[in-house]
């Protein structure tokens, strides 16, 4: 940062008239919304005969992005705190498996608790290793990615675990609340809570401060180790809920559920304008980042691209968007 | 005198790091509403003593009394609760948050439902700023503010927490002159309100301008505490350095400059970005060129363009009459240009690496044997640099991060002089170095010039600029507005008026 930009002879900051506000307005932060609208319009025109704009298809986009959205809300905290969590996808898988197994053994409540326990345990281990031992979160959670998926595969002998409990399935993903799909309600709740906590609570502010300048946060009396622990714990817990949403929607637990979601979630967070270097986070941006990814997936399927082509186009679009949103 | 008058009293403080004693039986006290200067050479232990008061470190022995009562300060929170605030130079603000958010960080006013009430913090921040009689927009993002505002924000942050004692560690190191003056006036006002200030600085004029009393540390020991009316500047300098130094800041004419000789470096119509506009000048072998100007006038940017960091938009750079392109620092280094940057922590050093590794970074070519690095040679080279520049470090393998501020600056300078450049650009070379070292650095600059090298010195300290420069270029809004031979500059005031464009 340059520290040589004052020439005014007295201590004044330039008045915030409309012109300067416009100039200062960091459009990169809003690139996600522009990108979202552009891509939406593009598909709306291109795919109007394939039913892109039908209410059913639009609801489908929401439904398909719900788990990514939920995971990405937790990921926003982690990235805003200048850490990363690569284990979320496999935590979701492990959680779906544990929920399914506990559900068939002991019933609804133990099932849900088992799922949450996965997030609690994995998140705590991640958090403790990062904050107490100072191991980079990239390495800790990369290791955990393998461990969680391995455990899920091991305890199920790679077999899917069917879930026959209708209450669970209705509650977690298969059901509707009135006309609104349950999955949409779930993501709305996570986004709302996530946004308020990040912007309007001391905890959220301390996460941003820790990510923005850890030393400064430390010298202000913020326990940055605890904050780092907490964001990784939150991320694990949120991922375990996402795992239950997979389980409810697909009415089974399976170790593959959620695999690769960490990359989609990270992409959603970065597309949404959260700084990869920490210190700045936007949950609403994350929501739109996730929706944009969902939109692209959906559009490419409707356009008839096969899955290998989809992957290529998706990757290119993400790189392009991140390049546009990058810092100067 | 009555100890109850002391807001802070530190008694017989000792502290060692890894068995190396840094403070030995140091006592220090501060009265209500006084400015107490804390002076001493680089590595004397000033910052360490203050960090103990601030709860960052714990003393090995000794006690701290606050308002006459023994108080344990084991954490930053304890210090805050005891009414001690610190204006850190480097790291106490979060750039991604706003001014108001920083001021109330971890103490945010809460509104309905326990949620942060940012509007209340903006309002209260405004109150604090108006009490300080300065005008800062609490909603501005800190990342976009200049250093002076960082500092005002830090002071406001401390005051918002009801600090009774403010510690300022080299607060003017990166301020322009008028900004420093504004800070001094603020300090006067705070003093009137009964707030005590501990002021660490290497600049004598500031100490005399502000302080009521001075305490000098030398090598971790308490040397003296006295009212400023009782000590002369010479006594203070001698106390800090441990020996008499004379005429360190007076100009000595050197007759090495061949005024008609071919220039070493010639710049024609150089324009780079917003801050360097149509700059032309020449630098001759053996010449020391001073760049004067306000902070933000574009001096640093000019240096960056010459060193290939910033892209040159138009104009040309000639070295010994040959046109060169400075596309990257690598090209500049190969062409024999070195830049000692302004922000040493961010640009000059890899803080986590050892002193030796930092010193050798630009010299790797010299210590190569085949494809491998010659460890013994590297060790020898770095030790000789450490010795030559009197860097105070227990061992070359210690991380630079642990050095005192002034010693870090010495490492940066040593590192670049090791490359033996033909043209040396120094941006605020003596920021944060003690008086003894400062005169050593100035001597070094003179020596280099006498050996036929071209030197460009950027400095906001006029006495220093006048002490070394053969010619002074005055920079304003990115352009050179005056080119004055040293012999035509009568005194500091003349230069100051020139800088202000009068
Ligand atoms: N955390 C640490 N670990 C080891 N040594 C340290 C540490 N902090 C400081 N030191 C050493 O203690 C000595 C005193 O350092 P200190 O920063 O207090 O000096 P100072 O008086 O502030 O100097 P300056 O004027 O250069 O800022 C130095 O030799 C420094 O290397
Ligand atoms: Mg210091």
The full DSSP string for B446-488 is: HHHHHTT-EEEEE-S-HHHHHHH-SEEEEEETTEEEEEEEGGG
Higher pLDDT, A42 or B366: A42
How much is the pLDDT for A179? Answer: 83
Cα–Cα distance for residue pair A94/A72, rounded to 1 Å:
18
- Which helix (H) or strand (E) segment holds residue B314: the answer is strand B314-319
CB contact under 8 A, B94 and A215: no
Cα–Cα distance for residue pair B204/B216, rounded to 1 Å:
12
**A248: distance to nearest CA of chain B, Å?**
33
Higher pLDDT, B393 or B122: B122
- Positive or negative CA dihedral for A228, A234, A235, A240? positive
Residue A42 lies in a domain: no
Burial of B177 by CB count in 10 Å (0-12 exposed, 13-18 middle, 19+ buried)? middle
Residue A323 lies in a domain: no
**Buried-state track B393-418, b at ≥16 Cβ within 10 A, e below 16:** beebebbbeebbbbbbbbbbbbbbbb
Region B416-426: mean pLDDT is 87
Residue of A8, A9, A11 to mutate for B, most B C-beta atoms under 10 A: A11
Q: Is A201 on the interface with B (CB under 8 A)?
A: yes
Could you tell me which residues come within 8 angstroms of residue A54 by beta carbon, excluding any fewer than 6 positions away?
Answer: none
Residue A318 lies in a domain: no
How much is the pLDDT for A4? Answer: 35
Residues 98-127 of B with CB under 8 A from A: 101, 105-106, 108, 110, 114-116
B414-B418-B421 Cα angle (round to 5): 115
B124 plus B218 within the same structural domain? yes
Cα–Cα distance for residue pair B360/B213, rounded to 1 Å:
42
How much is the pLDDT for B438? Answer: 85
Q: Is A16 on the interface with B (CB under 8 A)?
A: yes
- CA B402 to centroid of ligand 1, rounded, Å: 7
Under the phi-then-psi rule, with left for phi > 0, alpha for psi from -120 to 50, and beta for the rest, what region is B251? beta
What is residue B64's three-state secondary structure? Answer: strand
Residue of B96, B133, B181, B299 to mutate for A, most A C-beta atoms under 10 A: B96
Residue A152 lies in a domain: yes
Residue B472 lies in a domain: yes
How much is the pLDDT for A2? Answer: 35
Q: Which of B15, B47, B355 to mutate to test the pocket of ligand 1 (most atoms within 8 A of CB)?
A: B47
**B24: distance to nearest CA of chain A, Å?**
26
How much is the pLDDT for A16? Answer: 45
Cα–Cα distance for residue pair B469/A125, rounded to 1 Å:
61
Residue B355 lies in a domain: no
Residue A283 lies in a domain: yes
B302 plus B187 within the same structural domain? no
Residues 223-282 of A with CB under 8 A from B: 275, 278-280
DSSP H helical ranges for chain A: 18-24, 31-46, 55-80, 88-106, 108-131, 137-156, 166-169, 182-200, 202-212, 214-219, 224-250, 261-271, 283-302, 307-325
Q: Is B397 on the interface with A (CB under 8 A)?
A: no
Higher pLDDT, A326 or B51: B51
By Cβ distance, the residue of B95, B148, B300 closest to A6 is B148
Residue A48 lies in a domain: no
Higher pLDDT, B246 or B418: B418
Could you tell me which residues come within 8 angstroms of residue B463 by beta carbon, excluding any fewer than 6 positions away?
Answer: B249, B492
Residues 51-90 of B with CB under 8 A from A: 56, 75-77, 80, 86, 88, 90
Most confident of A9-23, B154-168, B252-266, B378-392: B154-168
Cα–Cα distance for residue pair B6/A328, rounded to 1 Å:
50
By Cβ distance, the residue of A7, A205, A213 closest to B108 is A205
Q: Is A221 on the interface with B (CB under 8 A)?
A: yes
**Confidence bin at A27 (pLDDT 50/70/90):** low
Residue A120 lies in a domain: yes
C-alpha radius of gyration, chain B, whole number: 24
CB contact under 8 A, A213 and B94: yes
Nearest CA to ligand 1 atom 2: B402
Q: Are B64 and B73 in contact (CB under 8 A)?
A: yes
Region B4-10: mean pLDDT is 85
Q: Is the pLDDT of residue A293 over 70?
A: yes
Region B210-232: mean pLDDT is 94
The percentage of chain B sitting over the pLDDT mark of 70, rounded to a whole number, equals 95
Where does ligand 1 bind, in terms of residues with CB under 6 Å?
B 17, 22, 40, 42-48, 392, 402-407, 434
Residue B359 lies in a domain: no
Token readout for B40 is 């001493």
Region A261-268: mean pLDDT is 91
Q: Are B466 and B486 in contact (CB under 8 A)?
A: yes
B176 plus B303 within the same structural domain? no
How much is the pLDDT for B89? Answer: 61
Residue B152 lies in a domain: yes
Q: Which residue in A has a C-alpha nearest to residue B118's C-alpha?
A: A200
How much is the pLDDT for A13? Answer: 42
**Confidence bin at B393 (pLDDT 50/70/90):** confident
CB contacts of B276 in chain A (<8 Å) are none
How much is the pLDDT for B100? Answer: 95
Name the residue among A209, A181, A194 with its Cα closest to residue A279: A209
Q: What average pLDDT is seen over chain B?
A: 87
Could you tell me which residues come within 8 angstroms of residue B100 by beta carbon, excluding any fewer than 6 positions away?
Answer: B118, B121, B122, B124, B125, B138, B139
Q: Is the pLDDT of residue A15 over 60?
A: no
Q: Which residue has the tokens 């304890």?
A: B78
CB contact under 8 A, B75 and A221: yes
Q: Is A13 on the interface with B (CB under 8 A)?
A: yes
How much is the pLDDT for A313? Answer: 83
Residue B248 lies in a domain: no
How much is the pLDDT for B25? Answer: 96
Token readout for A37 is 């609208």
pLDDT tens column, B183-211:
999 999 999 999 999 999 988 889 999 99
Region B328-336: mean pLDDT is 86
CB contact under 8 A, B114 and A222: no
Token readout for B259 is 């005024």
CB contacts of A278 in chain B (<8 Å) are 96
**Confidence bin at A325 (pLDDT 50/70/90):** low
Ligand nearest to the CA of B57: 1
B144 plus B42 within the same structural domain? yes
- Positive or negative CA dihedral for B309, B391, B403, B379? positive
How much is the pLDDT for A328? Answer: 43
Number of domains in chain B: 2
Domain that residue A165 falls in: 61-302
Token readout for A86 is 């690569």
**Confidence bin at B435 (pLDDT 50/70/90):** confident
CA neighbours within 13 Å on the CB side: how many for B283?
29
Q: Are A160 and A277 in contact (CB under 8 A)?
A: no
Residue B268 lies in a domain: yes
Cα–Cα distance for residue pair B46/B59, rounded to 1 Å:
13
Q: Which residue has the tokens 């210590």?
A: B367
How much is the pLDDT for A7? Answer: 33
CB contacts of A217 in chain B (<8 Å) are 94, 105
Residue A208 lies in a domain: yes
CB contact under 8 A, B106 and A24: no
Region A12-23: mean pLDDT is 46
pLDDT tens column, B449-502:
988 899 999 998 888 899 999 999 999 888 999 999 988 888 888 888 888 876
Cα–Cα distance for residue pair B1/B13, rounded to 1 Å:
20
Q: Are B41 and B239 in contact (CB under 8 A)?
A: no
Domain that residue B331 falls in: 263-336+423-431+454-502
**A128: distance to nearest CA of chain B, Å?**
22
User: How much is the ipTM here?
Assistant: 0.79
B214 plus B287 within the same structural domain? no
Region B138-160: mean pLDDT is 88
B316 plus B196 within the same structural domain? no
The percentage of chain A sitting over the pLDDT mark of 90, rounded to a whole number, equals 61
**Confidence bin at B248 (pLDDT 50/70/90):** low
The enclosing domain of B88 has a CATH number of 3.40.50.300
Residues 252-291 of B with CB under 8 A from A: none
What's this model's pTM, rounded to 2 decimal places? Answer: 0.78
Q: Are A96 and A257 in contact (CB under 8 A)?
A: yes
Name the residue among B41, B21, B25, B83 with its Cα closest to residue B10: B25
Region B290-305: mean pLDDT is 88
Number of domains in chain A: 1
Region B342-361: mean pLDDT is 80
How much is the pLDDT for A320? Answer: 78
Nearest CA to ligand 1 atom 25: B42
pLDDT tens column, B232-243:
888 898 888 887
Region A255-271: mean pLDDT is 91
Q: Is the pLDDT of residue A11 over 50?
A: no
Residue B76 lies in a domain: yes
How much is the pLDDT for B69? Answer: 92
CB contacts of A212 in chain B (<8 Å) are 94-97
**Confidence bin at A79 (pLDDT 50/70/90):** very high
How much is the pLDDT for B375? Answer: 81
Q: Is the pLDDT of residue A65 over 50?
A: yes
B294 plus B188 within the same structural domain? no
Cα–Cα distance for residue pair B253/B49, rounded to 1 Å:
41
CB contact under 8 A, A10 and B182: yes
- Positive or negative CA dihedral for A120, A126, A130, A132? positive
Q: Are B35 and B187 in contact (CB under 8 A)?
A: yes
Residue B308 lies in a domain: yes
Token readout for B203 is 């600049």
- CA B217 to centroid of ligand 1, rounded, Å: 12
Cα–Cα distance for residue pair B485/A52, rounded to 1 Å:
75
Backbone dihedral angles phi then psi of residue B381, each to the nearest 5 degrees:
-60, -45
B183 plus B74 within the same structural domain? yes
Token readout for B262 is 């071919």
Q: What average pLDDT is seen over chain A?
A: 87
Q: Which residue has the tokens 């459009």?
A: A27
Cα–Cα distance for residue pair A236/A124, rounded to 1 Å:
8
B73 plus B203 within the same structural domain? yes
B86 plus B235 within the same structural domain? yes
pLDDT tens column, B70-129:
999 998 889 989 999 988 766 678 989 999 999 999 889 998 888 999 999 999 999 999
Q: Is B475 on the interface with A (CB under 8 A)?
A: no
Q: Which of B14, B15, B17 to mutate to test the pocket of ligand 1 (most atoms within 8 A of CB)?
A: B17
């Amino acid at each position: 940062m340059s520290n040589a930009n004052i020439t005014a002879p007295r201590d004044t900051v330039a008045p915030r008239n409309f012109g300067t506000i416009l100039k200062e307005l960091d459009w990169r932060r809003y690139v996600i919304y522009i990108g979202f609208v552009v891509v939406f319009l593009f598909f709306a025109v291109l795919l109007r005969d394939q039913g892109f704009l039908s209410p059913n298809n639009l609801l489908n986009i929401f439904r398909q992005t719900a788990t990514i959205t939920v995971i990405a809300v937790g990921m926003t905290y982690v990235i805003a705190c200048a850490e990363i969590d690569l284990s979320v996808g496999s935590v979701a898988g492990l959680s779906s498996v544990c929920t399914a197994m506990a559900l068939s053994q002991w019933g609804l409540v133990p099932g849900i608790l088992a799922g949450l326990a996965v997030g609690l345990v994995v998140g705590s281990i991640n958090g403790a290793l990062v904050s107490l031992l100072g191991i980079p979160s990239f390495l800790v959670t990369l290791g955990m990615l393998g461990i969680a998926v391995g455990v899920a595969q091991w305890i199920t002998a790679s077999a899917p675990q069917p879930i026959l409990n209708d209450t669970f399935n209705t509650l977690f993903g298969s059901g509707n609340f009135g006309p609104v799909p349950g999955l949409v309600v779930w993501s709305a709740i996570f986004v709302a809570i996530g946004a308020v906590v990040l912007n309007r609570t001391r905890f959220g502010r301390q996460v941003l401060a820790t990510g923005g300048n850890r030393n400064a946060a430390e010298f202000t009396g913020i326990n940055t180790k605890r904050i780092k622990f907490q964001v990784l714990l939150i991320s694990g817990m949120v991922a375990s809920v996402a795992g239950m949403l997979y389980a409810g929607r697909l009415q089974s637990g399976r170790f593959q559920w959620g695999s690769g979601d960490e990359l989609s979630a990270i992409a959603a967070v970065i597309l949404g304008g959260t700084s990869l270097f920490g210190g700045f986070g936007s949950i609403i941006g994350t929501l739109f980042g996730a929706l944009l990814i969902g939109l692209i997936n959906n559009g490419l399927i409707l356009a008839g691209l096969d899955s290998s082509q989809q992957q290529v186009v998706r990757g290119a679009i993400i790189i392009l968007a991140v390049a546009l949103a990058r810092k100067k | 005198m009555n100890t109850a008058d002391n807001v802070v009293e530190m008694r017989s403080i000792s502290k060692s790091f890894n068995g190396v004693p840094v403070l030995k039986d140091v006592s220090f006290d501060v009265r209500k509403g006084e400015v107490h200067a804390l002076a001493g050479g680089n590595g004397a232990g000033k910052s360490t003593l203050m960090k103990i008061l601030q709860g960052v470190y714990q003393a090995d022995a000794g006690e701290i009394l606050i308002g006459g009562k023994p108080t344990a300060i084991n954490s930053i929170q304890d210090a805050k609760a005891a009414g001690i605030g610190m204006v850190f130079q480097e790291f106490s603000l979060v750039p991604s948050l706003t001014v108001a958010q920083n001021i109330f960080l971890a103490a945010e006013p809460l509104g309905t439902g326990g949620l942060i009430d940012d509007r209340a913090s903006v309002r209260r921040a405004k109150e604090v700023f108006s009490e300080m009689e300065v005008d800062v927009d609490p909603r501005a993002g800190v990342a976009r503010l200049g250093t002076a505002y960082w500092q005002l924000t830090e002071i406001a942050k401390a005051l918002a927490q009801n600090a009774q004692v403010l510690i300022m560690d080299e607060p003017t190191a990166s301020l322009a002159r008028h900004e420093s003056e504004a800070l001094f006036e603020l300090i006067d006002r705070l003093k009137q309100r009964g707030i005590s200030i501990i002021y660490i600085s290497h600049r004598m004029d500031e100490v005399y301008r502000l302080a009521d009393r001075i305490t000098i540390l030398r090598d971790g020991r308490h040397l003296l505490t006295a009212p400023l009316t009782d000590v002369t500047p010479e006594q203070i300098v001698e106390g800090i350095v441990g020996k008499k130094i004379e005429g360190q800041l007076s100009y000595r004419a050197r007759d090495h400059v061949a005024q008609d000789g071919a220039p070493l470096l010639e710049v024609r119509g150089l324009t780079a970005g917003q801050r360097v506009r149509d700059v032309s000048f020449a630098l001759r072998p053996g010449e020391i060129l001073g760049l004067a100007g306000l902070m933000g006038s574009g001096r640093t940017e000019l240096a960056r363009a010459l060193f290939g960091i910033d892209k040159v938009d138009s104009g040309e750079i000639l070295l010994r009459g040959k046109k060169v392109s400075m596309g990257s620092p690598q090209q500049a280094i190969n062409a024999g240009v070195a830049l000692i940057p302004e922000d040493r922590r961010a640009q000059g050093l890899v803080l986590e690496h050892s002193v030796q590794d930092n010193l050798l970074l630009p010299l790797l070519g010299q210590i190569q044997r085949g494809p491998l690095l010659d460890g013994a040679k590297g060790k020898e080279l770095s030790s000789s640099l450490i010795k030559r520049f009197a860097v105070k470090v227990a061992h070359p393998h210690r991380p630079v991060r642990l050095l005192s501020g002034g010693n870090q600056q010495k490492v940066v300078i040593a590192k670049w002089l090791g490359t033996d450049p033909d043209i040396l650009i120094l941006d605020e070379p003596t920021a944060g170095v003690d008086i003894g070292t400062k005169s050593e650095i100035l001597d070094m600059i003179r020596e280099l010039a006498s050996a036929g090298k071209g030197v460009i010195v950027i400095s906001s300290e006029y006495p220093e600029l006048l002490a070394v420069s053969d010619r002074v270029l005055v920079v304003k809004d990115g352009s050179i507005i005056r080119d004055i031979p040293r012999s035509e500059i009568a005194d500091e005031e003349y230069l100051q008026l020139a800088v202000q464009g009068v």
